[in-house]
Amino acid sequence: MQKHLSMMLAGLLAIVLQAGSTASAQDFPSKPIRIVAPFAPGGSPDVIARIVAEEMKDDVGQPVVVENRPGAGGNLAAEYVLRQEPDGHTLFLGTTGNMAANKSIFKSLPFDPETDFTPLTLAYASTNVLLVRKDSGMKSIQDLIERAKQKPGSITFGSPGVGTAGHLIGEVFGKRAGIEIKHVAYKGQAQVIADLRGGHIDISFEAIATAIQAIKSGDMIGLAIATKERNPKLPDVPTFQESGFDNFAFQAWALMAASSKTPPAIAQRLNAALVKAINSKPVREKIDSLGVQVGTSSIEEARALLKAEVALWREVVKTTGFKPLD
Amino acid sequence: MRHAINRWEVLAAAALTLFGIFVAWVGSGYELGVSGRPGPGFFPVCVGLATAILGGVIAWLFFRAETPKPDLPLRPFLAVTAGFVAFALITERFGLIPGTIGLVVLSSLGESPLRPVATAALAIVLAVGAALVFVVGLKIPTPILRW
Amino acid sequence: MDLLANLASGFQIALRPDALLFCFVGVSIGTLVGLLPGIGPIAAISMALPLTFYFDPTVALIMLAGIFYGAQYGGSIASVLLNIPGDAPAAVTCLDGYPLTKQGRAGLALFVSAISSFLGGSFAILVLMGLAPTVAAIALKFGPVEYFSIMLLGLIAGSTLSVGSPVKGLAMVTVGIAIGLSGVDVDSGRARFTFDLALLRDGVNLVALATGLFGVAEILNNIGKNAAVTLTAKSVSLRSMIPSYAEMRLVWLPTLRGAVIGSIAGSLPGTGPTIASFMAYATEKRTAKDPSRFGRGAIEGVAAPESANNAAVQAGFIPTLSLGIPGDGVMAVIMGALMIHGIAPGPQFIAENPGMFWGLVASFWIGNVMLLILNIPLIGVWVRILAVPYYLLYPSMLLFICVGVYSINNNMFDVYFVLLFGVLGYFMLAFGYPAAPLLLGFILGPLMEEYLRRALLISGGDFTVFVLHPISATALLAGVAVLLIPLRGYLRARWLEHGTS
């Protein structure tokens, strides 16, 4: 009896507290906002989060800080965010990997990106470019396919790790082109580009930021870009579509998310602040210089994107026959 | 003249061999791969076996060695362990200031004689200093004090 | 001539008041974060990054670079005085720096470390100035095959780099490799030795391992033994810091060799300051007339790795700037900073941004001079830390270790790991098992496996690539030579021993 009573009391208390926090949407934020980045410092998503945080602090009237909690493909950071008070003061920097692809790449995730998180807005989108060395003699996708068919298994492609976008896109490409290309896994993008430049591997599906830099420096060429239309920064690089690969389009995006238990009013307030900051001129300029595209959205749009992307990567994992990781 | 068996050296070597066998055993659970294409289990098995063999070699070389019995007092060990555990547990729940005090007070128990006044003063100075330097200055994300 | 003109224009930029000011700010922050274990230059640079959005890009780069090389100076201080390596390269400095401190010669060790760092850094700057594009082109020739052979050479050369039984040293190398295996296997994506702990997916943290094995183990060993260093007035006097003529003669060649090794290791994107320090130390021990002095307070054992790690840091800018390939995390952050300012590092970088490149190179020199001026008078202050009674000193050291290690991943798990490795190190110390080879195995072992499997994957399982590639073959030959030299000495010693008994 007493146990029941105390449980009821606890439940009541929880409701009161919940209501209390909903009501306080007016004076949100009441303390510094933390953006938890699931990577070590450096790298595009982390740098972009810092740029956005810097811009956002005046609007919300509180400091906005980036906290790095790297580890386990983003799972540690996600779990950490979900453990915090769901009052909108702790945000999560979600990416294609940790929010969409990991669900199919790993046998099990300690959280569900779609139900445990509310995506607040999209932040940016980037894509992949198929890169080869200029002196490789390959000038088009057809050249590449021909060479791979002449000597099966002789073409190697690098990626920054098993289960990364660069890896899976390569596998999808191999399947669709009907060729055998050998995957070589690395620990990060920098290692891939070093070995690609040095001629130790043949091709790589590089993030567009790296690709632009490599093409500009003159020793690499892009054979195709994985978007529906050509990129204005790389006008000479055809799309996969143009080269006969229908619907071969992949995005690497980042979004801001909060626990799905966050009161809706606060989520809306955060959406407004984030969209304003991301769309501001200084942020746009800086993100643009990193070679990625700024793109904001409403909460509903972000949710729809997340759903579509989870489905897309489930499909990718199915087509490539990728064995989920433990 | 022959010396008695050096139990300590043999014990350490045995621990090494056990560790090696453990590594090789866990490693053998991953795919070993084939020659020219080693899998994730190949290297661990080799390293584990090498460690186990080296443990055996050490036991053979040292079992009559004259090295003195290792001096391993228990008290510093317990005090420092308690300090670390207290720091980790307390800082996560209550913040850096109480965590620091816990660490300093407990780890100070390792040295005799106990100096309660000096330790208390040190705990307070360090707690405030750490909060200022690490949390305020270097922005390490941990609360200073919460309950 | 061209070079001089370029350099002159570089100094014009680096000597501007704003550049000077932020260079100073950078190296000062760097020294401070280098002093604290765990809080490395990556954290400091990331925090300073948003500030530099408002700067001129050259000044921003000067400051961020200053933090990086400043940290190398700071890192040696805690290693020499307290046996707490601030980062992995500094662990090598512990090997002879701390024994020197125990002998009351901490001032000398710190002085030599500062001078050697300066000379090593300067040497690498010369390389950067004159040879950056050439070096970068050669660096690209290093693929998985070459790196595998270099890692193997490093393991062989380093496996006996500590005092005591060589077999125990070798066993510690394999234990280090085994610990390094923990985490996700790069080639297959499989998690190995993680025991279902999410944090172990990324492996055991290097700083937690080094701080535990060296720092915590030493503290455990010292408590209650009154073994702490005694400080006399003599050990802080300026006289005691400045090396004698004989000591200078002992040190200059190791410093130079360290600078060369560091410049090479830094120029290769696959190696860096840590490997440079280990290699430099191993080289000195190998070539010394009396290798047994090492680990017992040989001043060359401080000079060579300090020179090497600073050279490696400066040379690390070669692949970053002229190839757009950052060698490590710090360089990745610096490259990110450049890209935000709309500058793309790569083969065209120097031609397109001569002002920035030469301004940066000039600032390196100015920064290194600043560090020297900043550090030498401070040596006296640092040494006085040792005058603090041990019952006050060691709880403070433990606190710095705890907070520093926590800050790496902002995770308490790493704090438990430091304790675990501290206890392991304590037992190792008591049973005569050296810690340095374990650390070396931990660093090189997993890299060696990674490169081996990658090389075999690319070659289609053909082992001959390792002897057919000239750079790789050279490294393997050097490895065999290194293996045979001490074996001869060891056998002779055993033979003599048996002959006389």
| A134 lies in the same domain as A218 | yes
Contact B36 C174 (CB under 8 A): no
Report CA-CA distances (Å) from A15 to A10, A26, C23.
Answer: 9, 19, 55
Min distance A304 CA to chain C CA atoms (Å): 29
- Cβ contacts from A onto C, under 8 A: 149
| B79 lies in the same domain as B126 | yes
Averaged pLDDT, C65-82: 88
Phi, psi of A40 (to 5 degrees): -70, 160
Angle at C124 between CA C120 and CA C125, to 5 degrees: 115
The yes-or-no verdict on residue B1 having pLDDT over 70 is no
| A135 lies in the same domain as A109 | no
Nearest residue in B to A33, CA atom: B141
b or e along A23-50 (b: 16 or more beta carbons within 10 Å of the residue's beta carbon)? ebbeebbeeebbbbbbbbbbbbbbbbbb
Chain A residues with beta carbon closer than 8 angstroms to that of B139: 65
Q: Mark which of B62, B87, B106 sits at the end of a domain.
A: B62
Q: Which two tokens stand for residue A83?
A: 């453990």
**Closest Cβ–Cβ partner in A70, A110, A290 for C339:** A290
Please indicate, yes or no, if residue B13 is contained in any of the structural domains. yes
Q: What is the pLDDT of residue A133?
A: 94
What is the C-alpha to C-alpha distance for residues B79 and B109, in angstroms, rounded to an integer?
A: 6
Q: What is the pLDDT of residue C136?
A: 82
| B57 lies in the same domain as B90 | no
Q: Does C325 touch chain A (CB under 8 A)?
A: yes
Residue C162 — very low, low, confident or very high, per pLDDT cuts 50/70/90? low
Query: What SS3 class is residue C470?
Result: helix
Greater pLDDT, A259 or C491 = A259
Task: List the single best residue of B19, B134, B139, B142 to mutate versus C (max C Cβ within 10 A).
Answer: B134
**Closest Cβ–Cβ partner in B44, B54, B112 for C170:** B54
- Give tens-digit pLDDT for B86-138: 999 999 889 999 999 999 999 999 888 888 999 999 999 999 998 988 888 77
Chain centre distance of CA A244: 26
Out of B3-12, B48-57, B85-94, C140-149, least confident range: B3-12
- Give tens-digit pLDDT for B43-67: 999 999 999 999 999 999 888 877 7
Task: List the single best residue of B103, B136, B139 to mutate versus C (max C Cβ within 10 A).
Answer: B103
Q: Where residue A143 sits, what CATH number does that domain have?
A: 3.40.190.10
The yes-or-no verdict on residue A20 having pLDDT over 60 is no
The yes-or-no verdict on residue C146 having pLDDT over 80 is yes
What is the C-alpha to C-alpha distance for residues C276 and C89, in angstroms, rounded to an integer?
A: 8
Q: Which two tokens stand for residue C138?
A: 């050669």
The sign one gets for the Cα dihedral C249, C253, C256, C257 is negative
What is the C-alpha to C-alpha distance for residues A227 and A241, in angstroms, rounded to an integer?
A: 8
| B45 lies in the same domain as B78 | no
Do residues C440 and C88 lie in contact, with contact meaning Cβ atoms separated by under 8 Å?
no
Min distance C189 CA to chain A CA atoms (Å): 5
Q: What is the pLDDT of residue A1?
A: 43
Out of A287-296, B26-35, B77-86, C92-101, least confident range: A287-296
- Give tens-digit pLDDT for C454-484: 999 999 888 999 999 999 999 999 888 877 7
Do residues C138 and C328 lie in contact, with contact meaning Cβ atoms separated by under 8 Å?
no
- Give tens-digit pLDDT for A264-308: 999 999 999 999 999 998 888 888 877 788 888 888 899 999 999
Closest of C317, C380, C326 to residue C350, by C-alpha: C317
Please indicate, yes or no, if residue A247 is contained in any of the structural domains. no
Q: Where residue A278 sits, what CATH number does that domain have?
A: 3.40.190.150
The yes-or-no verdict on residue A23 having pLDDT over 50 is no
Please indicate, yes or no, if residue A12 is contained in any of the structural domains. no
Contact C46 A193 (CB under 8 A): no
Closest of C13, C191, B125 to residue A71, by C-alpha: C191
Q: Which two tokens stand for residue C386?
A: 């040792």
Domain carrying residue A209:
127-225
Please indicate, yes or no, if residue B143 is contained in any of the structural domains. no
CA atoms within 13 A on the CB side of B18: 6
What is the C-alpha to C-alpha distance for residues C94 and C295, in angstroms, rounded to an integer?
A: 9
The C-alpha R_g of chain A, in whole angstroms, comes to 22
Subunits close to C (at least 3 CB pairs below 8 A): A, B
Contact C407 B26 (CB under 8 A): no
The yes-or-no verdict on residue C178 having pLDDT over 90 is yes
Please indicate, yes or no, if residue A18 is contained in any of the structural domains. no
Q: What is the pLDDT of residue C235?
A: 57
The yes-or-no verdict on residue C387 having pLDDT over 60 is yes
The yes-or-no verdict on residue C254 having pLDDT over 90 is yes
Averaged pLDDT, A44-69: 85
Please indicate, yes or no, if residue A304 is contained in any of the structural domains. yes
The sign one gets for the Cα dihedral C461, A193, C136, C366 is negative
Q: Which two tokens stand for residue C38?
A: 């765990």
Chain A residues with beta carbon closer than 8 angstroms to that of C46: 41-42, 46, 50, 68
The yes-or-no verdict on residue C123 having pLDDT over 90 is yes
Please give the tally of structural domains in chain A. 2
Contact C53 A51 (CB under 8 A): yes
Domain carrying residue B32:
7-62
Pairing of β A90-95 and β A251-259: antiparallel
Q: Does A71 touch chain C (CB under 8 A)?
A: yes
Mean pLDDT over the full length of chain A: 85
Do residues C236 and C380 lie in contact, with contact meaning Cβ atoms separated by under 8 Å?
yes
Greater pLDDT, C101 or B1 = C101
For tokens 């600043």, what's the residue? C370
Averaged pLDDT, C384-389: 81
The yes-or-no verdict on residue C374 having pLDDT over 60 is yes
Out of A19-23, C36-40, C252-256, least confident range: A19-23
Q: What is the pLDDT of residue C88?
A: 79
Greater pLDDT, A278 or C198 = A278
Averaged pLDDT, C394-421: 89
| A154 lies in the same domain as A95 | no
Averaged pLDDT, C83-109: 87
The yes-or-no verdict on residue C188 having pLDDT over 60 is yes
Nearest residue in B to A64, CA atom: B139
Q: Does C37 touch chain A (CB under 8 A)?
A: no
Nearest residue in C to A65, CA atom: C47
What is the C-alpha to C-alpha distance for residues A38 and A257, in angstroms, rounded to an integer?
A: 12
Has the ipTM of the complex gone over 0.85? yes
Out of A19-28, A50-59, A172-181, C430-439, least confident range: A19-28
Please indicate, yes or no, if residue B90 is contained in any of the structural domains. yes
Instruction: Give percent of chain A above pLDDT 90.
Output: 34
| B49 lies in the same domain as B79 | no
Contact B139 A65 (CB under 8 A): yes
| B20 lies in the same domain as B48 | yes
Q: How many CB atoms lie within 10 A of CB C163?
A: 17
Q: What is the pLDDT of residue C486?
A: 64
Angle at A149 between CA A148 and CA A155, to 5 degrees: 15
Phi, psi of A259 (to 5 degrees): -55, 145
Q: What is the pLDDT of residue A16?
A: 41
Q: What is the pLDDT of residue C499?
A: 55
Q: Which two tokens stand for residue C9?
A: 């224009």
Please give the tally of structural domains in chain B. 2
| A115 lies in the same domain as A144 | no
| A107 lies in the same domain as A149 | no
Q: What is the pLDDT of residue B29?
A: 92
Q: What is the pLDDT of residue C34?
A: 84
Q: Mark which of A182, A209, A225 sits at the end of a domain.
A: A225
| A107 lies in the same domain as A190 | no
Q: Does A261 touch chain C (CB under 8 A)?
A: no
DSSP string, B6-44: -HHHHHHHHHHHHHHHHHHHHHTTS--EETTEE-TTHHH
| B22 lies in the same domain as B47 | yes
Averaged pLDDT, C140-161: 85
Averaged pLDDT, C218-226: 81
Min distance C325 CA to chain A CA atoms (Å): 5
Chain A residues with beta carbon closer than 8 angstroms to that of C201: 71-73
| A118 lies in the same domain as A258 | yes
Report long-range pairs for A74-78 (Cβ below 8 Å, ≥24 apart): A74/A38, A74/A39, A74/A98, A74/A102, A75/A38, A75/A102, A75/A109, A75/A110, A75/A111, A75/C198, A76/A38, A76/C198, A76/C199, A76/C411, A77/A36, A77/A37, A77/A38, A78/A38, A78/A110, A78/A111, A78/A113, A78/A116, A78/A117
The yes-or-no verdict on residue A129 having pLDDT over 90 is yes
Q: How many CB atoms lie within 10 A of CB B47?
A: 26
Amino acid letter at A199? G
* SS3 sequence of C391-454: HHHHHHHHHHHHHHHHHHHCCCHHHHHHHHHHHHHHHHHHHCCCCHHHHHHHHHHHHHHHHHHH
Amino acid letter at C179? I
Contact B35 C392 (CB under 8 A): no
